[in-house]
Amino acid sequence: MTDEKVCVDEDIFAKSLCMMFSVEWLRETARRTGFIKRERKITPEIFFWVLVLGYGPFLQRTLAGMKRMYEKAIKQTISDSSWYYRFTPELVAFLHECVIHGMKQLAKESCRSLDAHLNCFLDVLIQDSTIIRLNKVLADKWPAARSKTVAAGVKVSVLVSARANGPKSVSIIPERTSDIKTLRIGSWIRGRIILIDLGFYKYGIFSKINNIGGYFVSRMKSNANPVILGLNKGCKLDKGRIKGKKLAEIINGLNGEILDAKIEIKYYKKENTGRRELILEEFRLVAIYNLEDEKYHVYITNISDNLLTAEDIAYLYKGRWEIELIFKELKSKYQLDVVETTNVQVIEAFIWISILTMIVSREIYNIVRMLNPDRQIARFTQMRWCNVFVESSPDFLREVLCYIGVNDSDIIKTKFEVYGSQALDPHVNRERFRDNLWA
């Protein structure tokens, strides 16, 4: 590590965040989505940053708590109706647009580079989803899957980019929607690798990825039994006793050796006429013995052995753990699954706020990495960083608000006014047991 000091702009975090979500962009998007029709006490840029930095990282997820934070930011009180009526489909549309915009900005920066042997690929992507359990009164709208009792839930489907170190796409769908329906393969996959969970296992999807010019790696289903067409050049097994056999016939006799082979896959494709067409495809199979599980881990891919070795394929698939860490971060730090309301718009707003908070956290994380180029990057983990971010988010909020022109000089006076107004019970005529005892 060098002793050189990096010259840091004191406003670097606020400036970067306000470039990512500029005041002009937030105002224009708020008008375009119908969230703001005419500005009164609700200012879109202050509203946005209060939600993302002042509210997203905290456990107490109530509209009243969020309202208090906003009032402290604008230094005046607003009526309950003025606040609560803002949680509309238009707000959900506004927040969704912000998520899309934030993901695009992260993707442009590409703070992380792929390792040397992955440089021939544009990116590594990981697809998965997580379930958020909701109040059972929403069971008619969002019924839960595989539940013996009345329950409700939604599924948050996320496609993660390794280079951008964050989400590339996010969608909110009913829990009963199968995972495979959330993965829509298009031209975006060209030149990129996608690591696929068994929930997305379908030969038709593998073929489509291959035909577009993309790459995939998936664990092979336990009941799959493909024919071995031949061995790849790095495989040291005896071709004579492997070729032409099915996987189940030879895997128990491999004695811990690595199997790297060409395989034939058969599946049926439904035509527009309703008839089924038999499709034959050749893919690559990699089987590596796992000492911890005491069994073979078998992978299917279309990545040539000229690009990645069998060991590389197995190690690359471990990268799927990245998305599990993202879900852990979203739930444990940004309260993705703390949704106690039954208001549909508020539920969707809360989910988008959690995603936005993580995107903003990633942006600051990227800046800190940039300012510490000589540090051991592998030790600079997201899970440790998000703890720092949650603790520091009030400071980041104050810096951003000051940067966009919200004066901080009379913050103490404002806090007293807000606390005094919010501590009053809104039920003016309610009788209280101690009114005739003491006050």
Tell whether the model's pLDDT for residue 228 goes beyond 80. Answer: yes
Q: Nearest-CA neighbor of 307 among 410, 159, 193, 174?
A: 193
CA distance 4 to 25: 37
Lowest mean pLDDT among 67-71, 109-113, 195-199: 109-113
167 Cβ partners below 8 Å, 6+ apart? 103, 106, 158, 159, 160, 161, 326, 355, 358, 359
Of 137-151, 296-310, 386-400, which has the strongest mean pLDDT? Answer: 296-310
CA angle 65, 70, 72 (to 5 degrees): 100
The per-residue pLDDT for 273 is 73
Residue 175 phi, psi dihedral angles, 5° rounding = -60, -30
308, amino acid identity:
L
The answer to pTM > 0.85 is no
- Read off the tokens for 90: 């238009």
The per-residue pLDDT for 369 is 80
CA distance 326 to 125: 13
Lowest mean pLDDT among 36-45, 101-110, 160-169: 36-45
Q: Bigger pLDDT: 263 or 430?
A: 263
Mean pLDDT of the chain: 83
- What would the pLDDT profile of 276-288 be if each residue is shown by its tens digit? 888 899 999 999 9
Tell whether the model's pLDDT for residue 289 goes beyond 90. Answer: yes
CA distance 131 to 94: 23
Tell whether the model's pLDDT for residue 32 goes beyond 80. Answer: yes
- Say what percent of the chain tops pLDDT 90: 38
pLDDT band at 50 (very low <50, low <70, confident <90, very high): confident
Residue 52 phi, psi dihedral angles, 5° rounding = -80, -45
The per-residue pLDDT for 16 is 93
pLDDT band at 227 (very low <50, low <70, confident <90, very high): very high
